[in-house]
Amino acid sequence: MKTIFSIFIAVFFTFLLQAQTAITTTEIKEHIHFLASEEMKGRKPGSPEDKIIIQYLLKDFQHNENSKCDIQEFEIIAGIQLGNATTASIENTKLRLEEDFIPLFFSANAELTAKVVIIGYGFDIDNEEIQQNDYQNIDVHGKWVLIFHGAPESKEALFKYADFRSKVITAQSKGAAGVLLVSPSHIEKEDLLMPLFYDKVPGKAKIPVLNITRETANQLILLSEQDKSLPSIEYIEKDLETLEHSCYYELSTRFSANIMLEHDIIKTANIFGIIPGTDKDLKEEYIVVGAHYDHLGMGGKGSGSRMPDTTAVHYGADDNASGVAVVLELAEYFAANPLQRSIIFVAFGAEEMGLLGSQYFVNNPPVDKEKMICMLNFDMVGRLNSGGNNLNISGTGTATEFDSILTIHSKPASFQLSRNKNGYGASDHAIFYAQKIPVLAFFTGIHTDYHTPFDNINKIDVKGTRDIAYFAINIIKSIDNLASPPAYQNTGDAPKRGKHSSKFKVTLGIIPDFSDNGDKGMGVTAVKKDEAAYRGGMQNGDIITAVNGNTVSNIYDYMHQLEKLRSGETAIVEVLRGEEKIVLLIQL
């Protein structure tokens, strides 16, 4: 009788434990409902709601008695504001801020009074496709250059070279002291100024940069005493549609500006919990399981919203309340069912601003980074039903064991798997892969609600999200059961470049660091094996300060120099490695 009673008690407590650690659709829905609620206003980093969510996540991790929890706070640039001292004038005529002129978000804070030179669209292109130098035989040293934004409407091939940051860097390299940017009528019919917004990438120009209206440009022309027969800005714009070359007009008018922009520095955080392993040796190895919790706030220009003219709560139910819900449920499960190895569960901040949270985490790891044996990332895992019942998993080639583990557990799964061997990607796992840590990234696919106010909880497949969480449990257990850590593999695939990638004829084979280096140069997160930079001796963590003698202060300077490189050349690249200055010869 005593034996039967003992068995009953054991079964009862086993049932009770399983009930307490079961991953349920109710709990997943509760997490997503809170994170993607109207009250959380889109989870913008640094907002009051961000602070509420940080405490919510910390409290949930702390529910797990076996978990050691902490917050990693870090600072980021969240926006930009006009300083009170910002002024501009033509001769003695004061201009109206935000009506006649506005500084561009990457303008230097500077004071300048100088004459103005009009030089068309401000191109300097020399490649197999196009040869156009709007600065040829023109002295712009110490002057404002007035250039049109974009490219002539009739010259479509020029548009991919029309990025205004690139134009400003070109003007700067020619000796210009400042840039006045005018929007042509085919780009801005109403002659409105560009809005001031921060594009999430640190790095300023070294000269003042202003957007002025066409009306203001015409004031400059009319007040010029040098030549009263100068054409209007509209006439110049029209002329450039048909001219094979650029135009050049030097004005006697002096334009004065005092630019003062102020960055909004805010604090956000990563939140993590560590569940210690049970094996006395293996517990020193760590499986990282993560998801980013931030989103786009109320949207707007520069937020990343696909509806930038709409100010509304961007709920981010799929992106990425769904991923956070999975991580929280996995943390609860493994707190009750610890593995041989330790697990770090982490919710990353500021992913939408350029993977800043995961970059900070890797740069400031809570444990020895060399002991992180793999990383599993959950980003947008809430639309399994609308994705054709298909779960996309990237990074399958980053460890020799991953494919066989996935094959074993895919057979009983309630969904299909699509595999991608590449370890790079537009989410936090890429930061870990760049550190030669094997990764698996879970994703149910893109949809039309992505980065819009329509990504709400009503469209979440809660059951599918729960099934993904159970699938992940099996994957994590299989990784833990390996006698040795997953064997890292380089997948040989470079990170995808952006929409202007066609400008670049060569690549060094690096991943830039998007965090702020204070204009010291452009940081290198990772160097791709067997690519040009790797062969030339560049290392992870180097800071590129110059290319072929041209200063590189930030990623935009680097991209501008990259445009000029050609296959077969040897680039002279100067880097900072710690405190040491090193010159590398990189064969392209």
End-to-end CA distance of the chain: 81
Residue 6: predicted pLDDT? 43
- 207: its two tokens: 């000269």
pLDDT at 468 over 70: yes
Half-sphere exposure of 116 (CA within 13 A, CB side): 29
Q: Residues 255-260: what's their mean pLDDT?
A: 97
CA dist., res. 572 & res. 560, Å (int): 15
Please state, for a pLDDT cut of 90, what percent of the chain lies above it: 64
Residue 498: predicted pLDDT? 40
pLDDT confidence bin for 520, thresholds 50/70/90: confident
Beta-strand relationship, 87-90 and 93-94: antiparallel
Q: Residues 92-118: what's their mean pLDDT?
A: 95
Higher pLDDT, 30 or 16: 30
pLDDT at 201 over 90: no
Residue 502: predicted pLDDT? 45
Is the CATH code 2.30.42.10 the one for domain 501-587? Answer: yes
pLDDT confidence bin for 156, thresholds 50/70/90: confident
> 494 near 506, Cβ under 8 Å?
no
- 582: its two tokens: 């090193």
Residue 278: predicted pLDDT? 96
Q: Where are the domains of the chain?
A: 21-79+265-480, 85-259, 501-587
CA dist., res. 587 & res. 572, Å (int): 9
Residue 228: predicted pLDDT? 65
Torsion, CA 456, CA 457, CA 459, CA 461, rounded to 10: 140
Secondary structure (3-state) at 574: strand
Please state, for a pLDDT cut of 70, what percent of the chain lies above it: 91
Do 21-79+265-480 and 85-259 come out as alike in CATH topology?
no
pLDDT confidence bin for 549, thresholds 50/70/90: confident
Q: Which CATH architecture has domain 21-79+265-480?
A: 3-Layer(aba) Sandwich (3.40)
pLDDT at 11 over 90: no
pTM, to two decimals: 0.76
Residue with tokens 């334009």: 255
CA dist., res. 115 & res. 117, Å (int): 7
Secondary structure letter of residue 227 according to DSSP: -
DSSP string covering 321-386: IIHHHHHHHHHHHHHHS--SSEEEEEEES-STTTSHHHHHHHHS-SS-GGGEEEEEEE-S-S-TTT
Query: Exposed, middle or buried, 451 (CB in 10 Å: 0-12/13-18/19+)?
Result: buried
Higher pLDDT, 354 or 319: 319
- Nearest alpha-carbon partner for 569 in 548, 549, 546, 587: 587
Residue 47: predicted pLDDT? 95
* pLDDT tens-place string over residues 70-82: 999 999 988 889 9
**Inter-helix orientation angle 25-35/48-62, to 10°:** 150
Residue 506: predicted pLDDT? 66
Q: 16 Cβ partners below 8 Å, 6+ apart?
A: none
* pLDDT tens-place string over residues 397-412: 999 999 999 999 988 8
Secondary structure (3-state) at 474: helix
CA dist., res. 305 & res. 448, Å (int): 12
Residue 530: predicted pLDDT? 76
pLDDT at 229 over 80: no
pLDDT at 486 over 70: yes
Taking CB atoms within 8 Å and a gap of at least 24, the contacts of 404-407 are 405/475, 405/478, 405/479, 406/475
Lowest-pLDDT choice from 179-183, 224-228, 555-559: 224-228
Please calculate the CA angle 153-157-161 and round it to the nearest 5 degrees.
95
Q: Residues 206-227: what's their mean pLDDT?
A: 90
Half-sphere exposure of 108 (CA within 13 A, CB side): 16
Half-sphere exposure of 180 (CA within 13 A, CB side): 32
Q: Residues 189-216: what's their mean pLDDT?
A: 89
Hey, what CATH topology would domain 85-259 get?
A: Glucose Oxidase; domain 1 (3.50.30)
| Range of 12-16, 194-198, 324-328, 431-435 with top mean pLDDT | 324-328
Residue 147: predicted pLDDT? 96
Secondary structure letter of residue 317 according to DSSP: I
Q: Residues 405-432: what's their mean pLDDT?
A: 91
Higher pLDDT, 237 or 14: 237
